Amino acid sequence: MLTLVQHLSKRVKDAANSLTRRFTKKQIAFLAVVALALVVIFQGFIRALLLIAILFVIGVFSTYYKRKLEDMSAMGFELVTSTSVIAGIAFGPLFGAVFGFATALVSVTLSRDVGVTTILFLLATVSAGAAAQLLSSFLRLVATGMVLLTFSMLLVQSYTFFLQRENLYKVTAVIGILVNFAVNYLFLSHAAGTLLALVP
């Protein structure tokens, strides 16, 4: 292990020495100032990209995780609707809709859980992302998210309640919905404001 650390240390020192041989200290200082200026100039853009990346990972991973737990007859939660709502509020209805579609599609593809409700799931997340900014002008952030989550759940779970014949599956779905609502409420009330603060 020590030899690996020594080898990596030597490689870093060699790279630094190579850099100082190619550029003078003034040139390195100039490049550092230019890089810092670019970060300052484009900080709003960088923060927006950071928000998009964070929301995307949260939305995709939570849905993937929930679908995998369902395969093991356990319950999880999805934050894809809430992340689509935040994206829609932050960047507008078109971006919210595209974000909702992309997040839902990637999560469904990764979890390999394409079925009857996939179209309803995609439609629900697209609608939530598109409607979020308009609805947020009338309601607070948490209320907006919960209203759109309710719409999403009604749309996606309509298959479960109206077409499924097994009562045990319906009971499990109700418990899953309650868990999903609780986690989404906590996410929206405690994390959404912080995430939206990333956007200037």
Q: Are residues 21 and 113 in the same domain?
A: no
For the chain, the domain total comes to 2
Q: Are residues 31 and 56 in the same domain?
A: no
**SS3 assignment for the chain:** CHHHHHHHHHHHHHHHHHHHHHCCHHHHHHHHHHHHHHHHHCHHHHHHHHHHHHHHHHHHHHHHHHHHHHHCCCCCCCCHHHHHHHHHHHHCHHHHHHHHHHHHHHHHHHHCCCCCCHHHHHHHHHHHHHHHHHHHCCCCHHHHHHHHHHHHHHHHHHHHHHHCCCHHHHHHHHHHHHHHHHHHHHHHHHCHHHHHCCCC
CB 80 within 8 A of CB 104: yes
Closest C-alpha to 127, from 158, 94, 160, 105: 94
- Does the predicted TM-score (pTM) go above 0.75? no
- pLDDT tens digit string along 151-179? 888 777 776 666 666 665 666 677 777 88
CB 109 within 8 A of CB 117: no
Rounded average pLDDT over 1-15: 69
- pLDDT tens digit string along 51-103? 788 888 888 888 877 777 666 555 667 888 888 888 888 888 898 889 888 88
Determine the structural domain holding residue 11 and report its residue range. Answer: 1-41
Q: Are residues 101 and 169 in the same domain?
A: yes
Q: Are residues 95 and 51 in the same domain?
A: yes
Q: Are residues 65 and 19 in the same domain?
A: no
Residue 88 belongs to a domain with what CATH number? 1.10.1760
